[in-house]
Amino acid sequence: MSIKFKHLRVKPGQAVELKHWPTRVTPVYGSKRDYQGLLDDHVVRLSTQQELLYASNAHAVLIIFQAMDAAGKDGAIKHVMSGVNPQGCQVFSFSHPSPSELRHDFLWRTTRDLPERGKIGIFNRSYYEEVLIVRVHPEILAAEALPQDENEPENIWRHRCQSITGFERHLVRNGTRIIKIFLHVSRQEQRIRLLERIDHPHKNWKISPADIEERKFWTSYRKAYEACLSATSSSQAPWYIVPADDKQTARLLVSQIILEAMESLDMEFPRATTERQAELAAMRKQLVED
Q: What is the residue extent of each domain of the chain?
A: 6-289
What residues in the chain have per-residue pLDDT under 50? none
Identify the three-state secondary structure at position 121.
Answer: strand
Structure confidence at residue 5 (pLDDT): 87
**pLDDT of the residue at 155:** 86
- The C-alpha atoms of residue 144 and residue 203 are separated, in whole angstroms, by 34
Which residues 6+ apart lie within 8 Å of 227 measured at CB? 131, 135, 157, 161
pTM comes to 0.94
Distance, CA of 126 to CA of 204 (rounded, Å)? 25
Q: Which CATH topology does 6-289 take? A: Rossmann fold (3.40.50)
**Residue 290 has what pLDDT?**
83
What pLDDT does 96 receive?
A: 80
The per-residue pLDDT for 127 is: 96
Q: Residue 216, SS3?
A: coil
CA distances from 58 to 45, 53, 115, 265 (A): 19, 7, 12, 10
Q: What is the pLDDT of residue 3?
A: 83
